[in-house]
Structures are given as structure tokens and as C-alpha cells.
Amino acid sequence: MKKIYTIVVWLLLLCTLISIGGVAAYAYSTAKHPENKRVVDKANLLSDDVEEKLDARIEELSEKYKMDILIVYVNEPVSPKGVVDDADMFFEGNGYGCGSTQDGIEFYVNLYARDVVISTMGKGEDVFTDYGTDFILAKITPHLSESNYKDAADTYLDYVEAFLKQAEKGRPYDHNNPYRTTWDYIKRIGIFTIIFFLFGLMIATVRQDSL
């Protein structure tokens, strides 16, 4: 009897550990179907090697920031509701999203319609505001125009990571807090330096003329 009791206790402990591990994994895996791929290339635009590398990077970012990140390429007729609705339905219908609010962002390209959207869900809407999605789209579009689908995906992930990193600081990029590179700051400093220099030169000239 004592042996049976001991076995039951160990089984309960094992179940508890499995449950805890499951919760930890669920925090960053897809909500309903963890086996779903995050790089979905139905248009056959990416090589298997590229897909694997993109998927590995997405997995790392998703784990770190608890945000589901998708790249979807399709080549099919658009539904009557439009490409935006198709993107949302793909995300929600396939059970993507982290946590109960299905937090995530999706890069959805339909070659048939020659249209592209970035769709956000849950906390993704706070991290990637309209400013953010428009900004990232502007960076991606040139690559799509040149049929550089790998570069488009890489650029998308670069900026997704930058926006997620900024959001962790409590002040996501937005119209009142725009994304700026180091070069942008250097240019601003340079402009102010030139203005002050010209202002100083003007004052010196005026003083010299008054003598």
C-alpha cells in the first residue's frame, strides 16, 4: 500500500512539472496549434533553406518577446471581403497568437492581387500602431517591387525586432516617438550645429559692422 501511495505521489509531481513546462512553452508558441509554421510560403517564392533560417529567427524572437510573428506568401484570388480580411482570417483561423489575447503580427502578401498588408493582433496592436505598420511597409515595399522576397522578409523581421525592443522600454515607436537611426541623430546634430554656426557668424558680422 505504501509503495502504491509513493507511485501516485510521483505521478502527481510529474504531471505538475509537465503542466508548468506546458504553460511556459505556451507563452510564446502558437495559441491553438503549436505545430503551425510561422513562415508560410504557398507561392513557392523561398527556398527551403531560407524558410528554415527565417523560421529559426522568428522562433527566437517569439520566445524572447512573447509575440507570434508570421510571414505569409500566397498566390490566390482574394475573398469578397478583401486582402486585409484574408490576412486576419488566416491568422485567427489557424490559431496563431501568443496568450489569451493572441498577441502577434503578420506580414501577408498576395501575389495574385499584388497586395500586401501587415496585420496585428492583441498586444501587437500596441507595439505596432498605424505608424509602425505604415513605416515597416514602406521599408518592405521596395524589395517586393524588385521581387526580392527574401530581402523583404529579412527587412520585416529587422524592424519587427527593433519595434519590439523599443516597446519593452515602455514607449513604443509612434507618431510622437518616431523611429530614428543613429544616422538620423547625427544629421539632426549636424543641422543644429550649422544653424548655431551661421547664427554666431551673423552676430559676429553685425558687431564688426557696428565698429
Tens-digit pLDDT profile for residues 40-97: 999 999 999 999 999 999 999 999 999 999 999 999 999 999 999 999 999 999 999 9
For residue 211, the model assigns a pLDDT of 60
Report the percent of the chain where pLDDT is more than 70: 69
For residue 193, the model assigns a pLDDT of 59
5/116: higher pLDDT: 116
73: which strand partners?
41, 109
For residue 21, the model assigns a pLDDT of 42
For residue 14, the model assigns a pLDDT of 43
pLDDT tens-digit profile of 84-139? Answer: 999 999 999 999 999 999 999 999 999 999 999 999 999 999 999 999 999 999 99
- Mean pLDDT across the chain, nearest whole number? 82
pLDDT tens-digit profile of 128-171? Answer: 999 999 999 999 999 999 999 999 999 999 999 999 999 999 99
Residue type, 65: Y
Between CA 44 and CA 28 the distance in angstroms is 27
Between CA 33 and CA 31 the distance in angstroms is 6
Residue type, 193: T
DSSP 187: H
3-state SS class at 79: coil
For residue 185, the model assigns a pLDDT of 40
197/167: higher pLDDT: 167
Q: Which of 142, 80, 144 is nearest to 108 (CA)?
A: 144
